[in-house]
C-alpha cells in the first residue's frame, strides 16, 4: 500500500491564517488609542498618564522583535508563530483583568513582545509559498489583517469600550489571538529550521548597512502617518467641529485607505520595489501636507485621511526589501522592521504633540508628518546611493 499523500493547504488559506494574527495585533495596537479616556477613568489616572500604556506596548515591540527572533533562530517557524500568538493571547487577556495601572503597564509591555517577531516570521512564511516576483503581494496579504483591523476591529473595540466597558476591547483581542493559534496549527506548513540556523547567524543582520538604512526609512518615514492618526480624533472635535460619533467613521476611512494600499501597491512593488517606495514616500508627504488644509470640512478630512492611510502600504515594501538585503539573517531583519515601525509610532506622536503644545494647533501634525515622510525619502536616497557605489566595482570587473 502506498502511504497517503501529505495534505497540501492552498496558499490563500495559509495567508488568511497568518493575516488573522495581524488582525488581532492591529485591533489592539490602534484601538488602545481610542480607549484611553475610558481606561483612564477605570484605572483612576488622568488621560496623559493612561497614554503611557501605548508607549510601553511600543517599547515591548521594539525590545521583543529582535530578542525573540534571535532566541527562536533554531525553532521551526510554524512552532514559533503558535507560541508567539499564544503568549499574545495570554497577555491581552491579563490586560483585560489588570487590577491597577501599574499592572496594566506590565501586561501591555508583555503584550508587545510577540508583536514584531510574529509579523516578521509570518511575512517570511507567506513569501516562501509564492514565486519571488510575488513576494510583496504575499507580505501585503499578511498585513491586510492589520489594515482590515483598522476598518472593522478598531471601530468595534471603540464601540464595545463605550457600550460595555474598555476591558472587553482587550478580551476580544485575546479571543482573536487564540483563533489565530488554531488556524496556524491547522493550516501553516510544517517546517524544520535550517541545519545551520543559530542566534549568531541572525545577529549578522546588524552588520549590514542596507538593513539599517531600510529600518531608518521605516522609523522616520512612517512617523508622519502616526503623527496625524494619534490626534485625528481631537482634530475632528476641535477643528472640524463634528460630534464624537463621527470619530469611528474617520478611523474606518483611514483603515480603508490602508487596506486599499496593501492590495494595490504590492503589485507595483513586485516589479519595481525601491522606486515604489520612493513614490509612496513622496505621496505620503503630499497627503500629510494637505491635511491641515482639509481639516475644516469632514468630507475633505476623510479624503486626506484615506490618502494618508493608503501610504501605509510602505510597510509591505520595506518588509520585502529587508528580505533582499538581510542575507542569511532573515528572521531578525524581518522582525526588526516592526521595531522600526513602532519607533515611528513613538516618534510621530511625540513630535506632533510638541508642535501642538507650542501653540501651532491640532492641524500642525500634518506639516510635522510631511517633514518626517521627506526625512524617510532622504534616507531612501542615501540607501540608493550606497547601493550604486557598491555595485560599481562589480560592474567594472564584469566589463
H or E segment and range at residue 91:
helix 77-97
Cβ atoms of 280 and 317 closer than 8 Å: yes
Tell me if 165 is assigned to some domain: yes
Q: In 10 A of CB 244, how many CB atoms?
A: 10
The residue written with cell numbers 511600543 in the block is: 58
In the chain (399 residues long), the average pLDDT of successive 10-residue segments reads: 53 90 86 76 79 82 83 82 95 92 93 89 87 85 83 75 80 92 90 63 70 92 88 87 84 88 89 92 96 93 94 88 78 79 84 87 93 96 90 57
Number of domains in the chain: 1
Tell me if 1 is assigned to some domain: no
Q: Which residues contact 60 (CB under 8 A, 6 or more apart)?
A: 108, 109, 110, 111, 112, 113, 115
Show the domain range for 148. 11-398
Tell me if 51 is assigned to some domain: yes
What is the model's pLDDT at position 288? 96
What is the model's pLDDT at position 194? 65
Residue 156 has which C-alpha cell?
Answer: 468595534
* CATH code assigned at 61: 1.20.1250.20
Tell me if 174 is assigned to some domain: yes
The two most distant CA atoms of the chain are separated, in Å, by: 79
Residue 249 has which C-alpha cell?
Answer: 467613521
What is the model's pLDDT at position 204? 63
What is the rounded distance in angstroms from the CA atom of residue 4 to the CA atom of residue 173?
38
What is the model's pLDDT at position 2? 47
Tell me if 376 is assigned to some domain: yes
Tell me if 298 is assigned to some domain: yes
What is the model's pLDDT at position 8? 55
Tell me if 3 is assigned to some domain: no
Whole-structure pTM value: 0.81
Burial of 259 (0-12, 13-18, 19+ CB in 10 A): buried
Q: What are phi and psi of 189, to 5 degrees?
A: -65, 140
What is the model's pLDDT at position 5? 45
What is the model's pLDDT at position 392? 65
What is the rounded distance in angstroms from the CA atom of residue 96 to the CA atom of residue 110?
13
Residue 101 has which C-alpha cell?
Answer: 495601572
Residue 341 has which C-alpha cell?
Answer: 515601525
Tell me if 6 is assigned to some domain: no
Amino acid at each position: 500500500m502506498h502511504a497517503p499523500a501529505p495534505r497540501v493547504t492552498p496558499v490563500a488559506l495559509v495567508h488568511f491564517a497568518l493575516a488573522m494574527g495581524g488582525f488581532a495585533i492591529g485591533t489592539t495596537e490602534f484601538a488602545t488609542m481610542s480607549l484611553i479616556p475610558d481606561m483612564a477613568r477605570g484605572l483612576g489616572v488622568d488621560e496623559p498618564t493612561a497614554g503611557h500604556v501605548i508607549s510601553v506596548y511600543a517599547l515591548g515591540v521594539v525590545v521583543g522583535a529582535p530578542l525573540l527572533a534571535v532566541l527562536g533562530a533554531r525553532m521551526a517557524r510554524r512552532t514559533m508563530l503558535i507560541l508567539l500568538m499564544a503568549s499574545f493571547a495570554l497577555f491581552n487577556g491579563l490586560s483585560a483583568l489588570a487590577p491597577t495601572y501599574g499592572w496594566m503597564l506590565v501586561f501591555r509591555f508583555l503584550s508587545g513582545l510577540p508583536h514584531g517577531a510574529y509579523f516578521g516570521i509570518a511575512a517570511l512564511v507567506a513569501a516562501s509559498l509564492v514565486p519571488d516576483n510575488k513576494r510583496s503581494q504575499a507580505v501585503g496579504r499578511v498585513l491586510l489583517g492589520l489594515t482590515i483591523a483598522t476598518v472593522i476591529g478598531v471601530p468595534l473595540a471603540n464601540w464595545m469600550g463605550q457600550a460595555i466597558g474598555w476591558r472587553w476591547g482587550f478580551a476580544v483581542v485575546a479571543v482573536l489571538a487564540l483563533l489565530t493559534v488554531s488556524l496556524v496549527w491547522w493550516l501553516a506548513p510544517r517546517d524544520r529550521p535550517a541545519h545551520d540556523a543559530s542566534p549568531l547567524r541572525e545577529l549578522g543582520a546588524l552588520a549590514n548597512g542596507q538593513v539599517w538604512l531600510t529600518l531608518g526609512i521605516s522609523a522616520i518615514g512612517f512617523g508622519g502617518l502616526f503623527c496625524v492618526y494619534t490626534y485625528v480624533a481631537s482634530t475632528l472635535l476641535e477643528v472640524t467641529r463634528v460630534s464624537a460619533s463621527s470619530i469611528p467613521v474617520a478611523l474606518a476611512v483611514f483603515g480603508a485607505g490602508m487596506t486599499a494600499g496593501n492590495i494595490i501597491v504590492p503589485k507595483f512593488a513586485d516589479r519595481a520595489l525601491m522606486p515604489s517606495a520612493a513614490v509612496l514616500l513622496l505621496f505620503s508627504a503630499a497627503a500629510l501636507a494637505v491635511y491641515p488644509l482639509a481639516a475644516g470640512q469632514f468630507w475633505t478630512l476623510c479624503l486626506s485621511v484615506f490618502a494618508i492611510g493608503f501610504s501605509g502600504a510602505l510597510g509591505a515594501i520595506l518588509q520585502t526589501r529587508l528580505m533582499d538585503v538581510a542575507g542569511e539573517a532573515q528572521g531578525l531583519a524581518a522582525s526588526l522592521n516592526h521595531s522600526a515601525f513602532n519607533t515611528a509610532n513613538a516618534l510621530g506622536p511625540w513630535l506632533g504633540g510638541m508642535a501642538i503644545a507650542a501653540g501651532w494647533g491640532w492641524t500642525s501634525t500634518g506639516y510635522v508628518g510631511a517633514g518626517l515622510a521627506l526625512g524617510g525619502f532622504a534616507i531612501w536616497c542615501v540607501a540608493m546611493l550606497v547601493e550604486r557605489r557598491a555595485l560599481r566595482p562589480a560592474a567594472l570587473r564584469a566589463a
